[in-house]
Structures are given as structure tokens and as C-alpha cells.
Chains A and B, each alone.
Chain A
Amino acid sequence: MRVALFVTCINDTLYPRTGRAVVTLLERLGVEVGFPAAQSCCGQPQFNTGYRHATEPLALRYARAFRDYEYVVVPSGSCAAMVRDNYPRLGEKAAAEGRGGALAEAAAEAVPKTYELTEFLVDVLRVTDVGAYYPHAVTYHPTCHGLRMLGLGDRPRALLSHVKGLELRELEGAQECCGFGGTFAVKNPAVSAAMGADKTRHIRETGAAAVCTVDNSCLMHIGGMLSRQGSTVRPVHIAEILAGTEGDVL
């Protein structure tokens, strides 16, 4: 099984520990992980802000970078959704504009091999107990793209429920958006902050020590607000929880 990590640009730059956690986790499960250096950004920020054409070279790059792999594991729900939902659209539109089939081919190649981390664990490796240890109360926020675009369903919770020592706390209004939304956070800052205020209030009310998601971009917003509020609730990516074992010092 040839498995590559698509770490994503945000994780690469701002949350490298998430990428390291994925490597630790997959290697512990007996998976050999590759990291093609030609990878970059999926193009989501450009695409979702309306810059479709600027996205195209990044989609081509993605397909090229992972050509030699059967599986691409992405520790980000929204980046995985970008590839799966929007790369085909790039292809369709380019073809309709008479610019050939290269993008459509890239999409056809990239889409079936791209898996969000929890999908890869549950659907491909068929594990829900990854032997993790995390002795804290945690609340889980299902991010919108993971929930509604990828349809992750129970997968993240199934994985978390098998983590030793972890106590999962229910989050009120869990399915409501946290207010990040990429450039939405700066284009409509007041509404974004109002949404984030409600989300962080619900998170604090759980009394959990950490809030967990499958996406660091949402956590950047949630964590940034919690930190500004002086809260001690820690934002943590699910990979970092799943990577920990009893041998580690957390």
C-alpha cells in the first residue's frame, strides 16, 4: 500500500505537529508514509474566494505530486473536500471553456485516492481503536466541510470513543458553523466573531480541557477566540489525540 501524506499548507506552516502526529499514528499502525515535496496547497482559499483560475495550477500540481501513490491522507476535512468536490468542477469548467481535458484528468486521478484522515483510518485501515491514550475531557466540534461535504458521520467520534482515558463531552449546537469560513472570517468579521462567540461559549460550557476537530483552520479561529477570552480550553487536532500513547509524556 503506497500511502502519501498531504499535510496541507496550513499544517505545514502553522501546525507542523499535526503532520508529525499523522506520521507517528500511521507508522504505528504499520503504514509506510511518503511525503512528496512537490506538494503544496490544495487551492481552497483561492477557489472559495472566486479565483478559480489561480487554483488550476495547484490542482494540476496535486495530481502530479501524488501520481505514484494509491492513497493520499489529508489531516483536514476542508482540504479533502476541496479536492473531492471542487477539482471535478475545475475540470468541467475548463473543458466547457474549451481549454482541454487536463484538469478533468487531474481531478479523475486525484479524487478517488484522496481520504480525510478519519476516513482513511475507518474505511481503508478498518480500525477504530488505534491504541491511543489521552487522559482528558474532550469535546468534539464536527467541522462543516467534514460533516456536510465529506459526510464523515460517526467516524471521528468512533475513533475518539476508543481512546483510553478520554472522556467525550457533548457539545451543544455541535453542527453549527464556528464562523471561520476562510476569507469569510475577514470579509465579514462581525458575523464571524458573533458565530465564534456562540461556538466558544458552548465549548467552554462543556467544561472540557480540549476541543477537537478534524481541521486546524477552524481550530485557528476557535483557538484564537478562546485564547483572546483567556480560556484554558486547548484546541487540538484529532491526529494529535490519536497519535498519543501511554508511553508518551503529554
Chain B
Amino acid sequence: MSVTDLGMPAFPAAAARATRDTRLRANLRHATHTIRDKRARAVGELADWAELRAAGRAIKDRTLRHLDHYLERLEEAVTAAGGRVHWAADAAEANRIVTRLVRATGEREVVKVKSMATQEIGLNEALAEAGISAYETDLAELIVQLGKDRPSHILVPAIHRNRSEIRDIFRSEMGDWGRPAPEGLTDRPGDLAEAARLHLREKFLRAKVGISGANFMVAETGTLVVVESEGNGRMCLTLPETLISVVGIEKVVPTWQDLEVFLQLLPRSSTAERMNPYTSMWTGTTDGDGPRTFHLVLLDNGRTDTLADTVGRQALRCIRCSACLNVCPVYERAGGHAYGSAYPGPIGAILTPQLRGTASELDASLPYASSLCGACYEVCPVAIDIPEVLVHLRERVVEGGRVTRRGVRTVIRPAKGHAAERAAMRAAAFAFDRPGVLRAGQRLAARTRRLHPRRLPGPGRAWTDTRDLPPVEAESFRDWWQRTRGGERGSGQEGAK
């Protein structure tokens, strides 16, 4: 089951609903403002942040340019270290591979490390269909899973929930999944964490299969890296006999020296820490330590198509720090669910329409889910110019054009529902290219200005529902200049054409 199958409404409708949910807005506002201020302080500590950011961007760009090469090196290194590498062209293939690998172990349950890639492909749902239970072990993911909910933030998936909601979810749902919540559970953070710890420990000790993603893959040694705060990831990565990691192909970095840059950029940008509490690294399998069997599933799912687009490809630099979400004024009001994918916020608005295309109404509305204020670009640790990509994708939505789909160059048609807007935009451009027409329009507007309604009908209502219109003045600037100066330099000569 993918998110698009749910018949998600387009962004504006879903976002509008979220703006009316006062509790959600208060939760989001508090959480995003706290974390954005902390990030600013953590980043401000480093005098060479701008250089680090430029280095992160350059390393990712170089790696993406030679992605095939580094992926082959990675495969060789992982294989040499005792791992097995599988290539998945899309979500369905990745889910098939993982399901087959789990089935081969004879197990019916797996423990999971927080992973964006497995959310992107809907792995938990695919496993459930195959009769395999997948248990999320990240505290926030656990809250989301127990609440039969969807994550709404990359780093803090349950950002839309507050403490008392979490207590209620633990009380009513934990028992159905394993060890129930302790009697009389309060909403104190310490008590909630303890309840989760007791509930999860049983699963860690029992699980024979772990599933993870990875933040980075180091090509030169075939090493995978997961950074986290809670230590639950470390449990999943070390206790089970079989470990399956599903990782997007853009997560590869060439060398450990390159990794060093990102291990500075990521924690400060995401949790505002100098270093995150747990950084787990593993290279294939090691006798007598950790999993006996290691599988790496390399996921494409639209990434090479995205790579083919010269403007859009910068989205593949993303290290999923979520700094762009935390500063985004639209995300703060709309919440994560409105974006309809595993990737909410500004990065989702540029990534989802590239990975999934712009055919659905929801996906075509995502590039417009921004006021282009540029706050995301300013904080992005790998300098993704998100506004630039948004505008680029808007063009794809309204004008169609050449894209790559499954490796084949094709021409797509404009998305539906933009005909009136297209006509209006072209008419405006036509008038603006003919100052005579523009001037006639201005004079008409000025002459009829007393008749202008305060509230507009039709699409104009979107403006006048909450805003008054500015009054039109009696004389345009152009006419004033003409009347008082008479020419381009006030000397009587009219400007060209």
C-alpha cells in the first residue's frame, strides 16, 4: 500500500485542514521553533560552517556525477566483507527482495531501525501482507506505529503528538503488540521512555532479523553508517542473526575522509548536537560479533531518473537532516501529513514529485507548497537550492516537458487543471509586453475604481476571504510621469516603442 493509493487530497486541502487544528499547530510551532533555535546555536559554534557546507555539497556532487563507479566499488567491498548486495529498481522490487530474504530465515517478525527508505517503499505494509510483523523500535516511530498513524517529520516522526496523547496511545495499544504499558502510566517523559524501553526490550531479545536503512555507505571499505540518539538502532544492528539494510543509491560517499565532513554537518543540522549519541558502523559480517548474515538492498526507485535532470538532481544531495522542515513556515502550519509521502516539508516538495512523478493531483500540488521564502536553502547543510527546484518543477507541472522515466527520455504533458491559469499568465505576459495594452488596462481600472467590490467572486475569493484589496489610485505612475514630465527624461521625448 503506497500513500498515493489512499486517495490523499492535494496539498492545499490537506494543509487547510491542518491549519484549523489548533492543538496540532501549537505542537508543531513549539517543536519546530525550539529545534530551529538550537540548530542556529549549534551551527553558530563552527567558524568554518560555510566551508563545511561547500565541502558537503561538492563531495555529494562529485559522487553523484560518478555514481555508477562508486556503487560498483561499494558492491565489491561489501561482498568482499561477507555481505550480499541486491539491486532494486523500484519499490515493488525492493519489497519483493526483502520479503524473500525474511521468508528464507523462516522468521515471522523483524525489528526495525528508523529508516526513511523503507517508509518510502511501504515495506512494513508489504511485509504485513506476507504475514510478517515489522516492529518499529525508534521511540517516535513506535508511537506512530502503535497509533496507526503516519510519520509527520523526518527526524521526529511523532512531532504532531504531545505527551498526553502518547500516554493514551501506549495505554491502549501496547498490549496488542507485546508487553502492555505499566499500570498507572503517567505522561512524564521519563515514564513514557521507560514504558517503551520495557516494551521494546522483549522484541530486541527475541528478534532474529533486523531491518535498517543507512545514513551513509562508504564505498572504499563497504561500511554502512547509522547515526541515532536512542541506542535502539545499535540493538537492531547487533543482536539479530540476519541484518537487511535498504538504502537509497545516493547515500554512498567515496571515502572515510568524505564521511568526516557529513558527520559534522548532520548532527548539528538535525538534532543541534555536536555529535549524536550513537554512531554505528558495520562492514559486512564479522565472526563471533553481530549478525551472521548481511544483505544490502540498493534502492533506485526514481533516483537515476532524478539524476538525469540537471536542475532537479541537487535534491539527491539531501542527508535527511530535517533542518529545512524546522525552519519552513509552510510546514509549521500544514504539518507533515499534508505532503503525502515519507518526505514532508521542503525536501519532500522537491523530492516526491521527482521520485513519483507529477501525475497525481497531490504530487502536482507539492511544488506549489511553498512561498519561496528561501529559509530552507539558507539552512540546508548541503546547499540544496530548494526554491530553484520548486520553480523548475512548477514548470514541469504547468508546461510539461522532457523528463526521464525508468531510464527513458520522454515528453510529459502538462498536469490537468491549469488551463485557465495558463491562459491568464500568457495573457498577462502578452499585455506586459505591450505597454499600450497595459496602460489601457490601468486607465480602465482607475476609471472604474469606485465600482471595485471589496470581496471578489470565484478564484479571487482566495484573496479576499482574509484580505482587503488595495484601492486603485486615480492615476498610474506611468500617467503621472507623462503628465508631469512629458517624456523619458522629462524633456519631452517618449521612450522607445
Cβ–Cβ contact B466 & A228, under 8 A: yes
Distance (Å) between the CB of B357 and the closest chain A CB?
16
| B26 located at the interface, meaning its Cβ lies under 8 Å from any Cβ of chain A in the complex | no
Task: Give the chain A neighbours of B12 by CB distance below 8 A.
Answer: 187-191
Task: Give the chain A neighbours of B433 by CB distance below 8 A.
Answer: 40, 57-58, 61
- Describe A's contact surface by its main secondary structure: helix
Interface size of A by CB at 8 A reads: 72
Assembled-state Cα–Cα distance A125/B429 (Å): 34
Question: Which residue among A20, A37, A96 has the maximum number of chain B CB atoms within 10 Å of its CB?
Answer: A37
| B135 located at the interface, meaning its Cβ lies under 8 Å from any Cβ of chain A in the complex | no
Given A40-B438, A148-B375, A190-B16, check contact A13 B445 (CB 8 Å): yes
Interface residues in A8-37 by Cβ distance below 8 A to B read: 9, 11-17, 19-20, 23, 32, 34-37
| B432 located at the interface, meaning its Cβ lies under 8 Å from any Cβ of chain A in the complex | yes
Contacting residue for B19 out of A13, A43, A190, A228, CB 8 A: A190
Cβ–Cβ contact B476 & A13, under 8 A: yes
Cβ–Cβ contact A49 & B432, under 8 A: no
| A158 located at the interface, meaning its Cβ lies under 8 Å from any Cβ of chain B in the complex | no
Interface size of B by CB at 8 A reads: 70
| A232 located at the interface, meaning its Cβ lies under 8 Å from any Cβ of chain B in the complex | no
Distance (Å) between the CB of A76 and the closest chain B CB?
13
Q: Count CB-based A-B contacts (< 8 Å).
A: 214
Distance (Å) between the CB of A8 and the closest chain B CB?
9
Cβ–Cβ contact B496 & A65, under 8 A: yes
Cβ–Cβ contact B330 & A145, under 8 A: no
Q: Which of A113-121, A131-139, A160-168, A177-185 has 4 or more CB atoms under 8 Å from chain B?
A: A177-185
Assembled-state Cα–Cα distance A240/B422 (Å): 35
| B435 located at the interface, meaning its Cβ lies under 8 Å from any Cβ of chain A in the complex | yes
Chain B residue at minimum C-beta to C-beta distance from A184 = B371
Contacting residue for A176 out of B329, B395, B421, B466, CB 8 A: B329
| A102 located at the interface, meaning its Cβ lies under 8 Å from any Cβ of chain B in the complex | no
Q: Which of A104-112, A192-200, A204-212 has 4 or more CB atoms under 8 Å from chain B?
A: A192-200
Given A20-B477, A43-B432, A48-B391, check contact A37 B465 (CB 8 Å): no
Question: What is the 8 Å Cβ interface bit string for chain B, positions 346-369, against chain A (1 contact, 0 not)?
Answer: 000000000000000000000111
Task: Give the chain A neighbours of B398 by CB distance below 8 A.
Answer: 49-51
- Please give 8 more A-B residue pairs, beta carbons under 8 A apart, in addition to A48-B372, A50-B396: A13-B442, A61-B433, A181-B373, A189-B463, A191-B12, A193-B465, A224-B470, A227-B468
28 A-B residue pairings within 8 Å (CB atoms) = A7-B477, A13-B477, A14-B473, A15-B470, A23-B481, A32-B489, A34-B488, A35-B488, A37-B495, A38-B435, A40-B435, A41-B432, A43-B432, A47-B391, A51-B422, A51-B425, A51-B426, A53-B399, A65-B496, A145-B374, A179-B371, A186-B460, A186-B462, A188-B369, A189-B465, A191-B330, A194-B333, A223-B470
